[in-house]
Structure 1
Amino acid sequence: MNREKTYGIGELARDFDVTTRTIRFYEEAGLLSPAREGQQRVYTDADRVKLKLILRGKRLGFSLSESRDLIEMYDPESGNSRQLNALLSKIQERREQLNEQMREIELMQVELEEAEKRCLDAFDR
């Protein structure tokens, strides 16, 4: 009998360097739905992959709703083309946002340099 590997909440928290509270939050948000053995949560490999995708989405700046939508599109029978296209679109949107933020930061740096120069010039007078 080949039984699927399962994980406890503490094990997942350690593996992904998050708190158990974070994992429970994702569960409450409907992103994870572990089985129960009494009061204990039992996570499968699929739950582990979902958690990995949620955390990756978070690092990329995706909202929980966006991550949920992408995870729900998983359909290996279709080659996941719908999911992949949606992910590509989200990546392009995020990249555009980051590029705009970089332009704004560069402008702020120029303005700070000019303000600093004016302050230093005022000391020299």
Structure 2
Amino acid sequence: MSSQTYSISDLSRELDITTRAIRFYEEQGLLSPERRGLERIYTARDKVTLKLILRGKRIGFSLAECRELIGLYDPSGGNFKQLNSMLAKIAERRAQLEQQMLDIQQMHLELDTAQERCEHALAATQDSPNATP
């Protein structure tokens, strides 16, 4: 029984990413397809690796973090290290997002204050006898 293989265009279509992105991940050492002449032949494991990279990017992981998580994969099925590391990174990312939300809320308050001051100053200048329309 032969395992499923994919061309770069197959993966590009299936995962909705560019062939250039796939080649970039290959250059970064995250993928290592077989070669048949100039053609790249990707395995089911390469496809899973790409899915993990894309998922990691969506939740804000760096490429280095994705590489670390992929490197922890244990094909024998004991992925405790990988899963624990993933949970730690998720908690870290969640904490970063919560801090960003607080920062954004604070910035909104500061913008509200600045806007209110500008509107009051503008109203005061329009009420002044020397105001020009």
Q: Give TM class, smaller chain.
A: over 0.9
- The answer for the alignment partner of 1:59 in structure 2 is 58
Residue segments in structure 2 that go unaligned for 5+ positions in a row:
125-133
1:7 aligns with 2:6: yes
- The answer for the alignment partner of 2:114 in structure 1 is 115
- The answer for the alignment partner of 1:82 in structure 2 is 81
Q: Distance in 1 between matches of 2:122 and 2:63?
A: 51
Q: Percent identity?
A: 56
- The answer for the alignment partner of 2:95 in structure 1 is 96
Deviation at 1:76, TM superposition (A): 4.5
Structure 2 SS opposite 1:79: coil
Q: Distance in 1 between matches of 2:89 and 2:22?
A: 24
Deviation at 1:67, TM superposition (A): 0.8
| CA RMSD after TM alignment | 1.1
Q: Distance in 1 between matches of 2:4 and 2:73?
A: 21
Deviation at 1:31, TM superposition (A): 0.2
Runs of at least 4 residues off by over 6 Å: none
Q: Distance in 1 between matches of 2:61 and 2:116?
A: 39
Normalised TM-score (structure 2): 0.88
Structure 1 SS opposite 2:6: coil
Q: Which amino acid aligns with 1:52?
A: K
Residue segments in structure 1 that go unaligned for 5+ positions in a row:
none
Q: Would you say how many aligned residue pairs link Structure 1 and Structure 2?
A: 124
Deviations 1:75-104 (A, max 9, x none): 143531111110011011111111111110
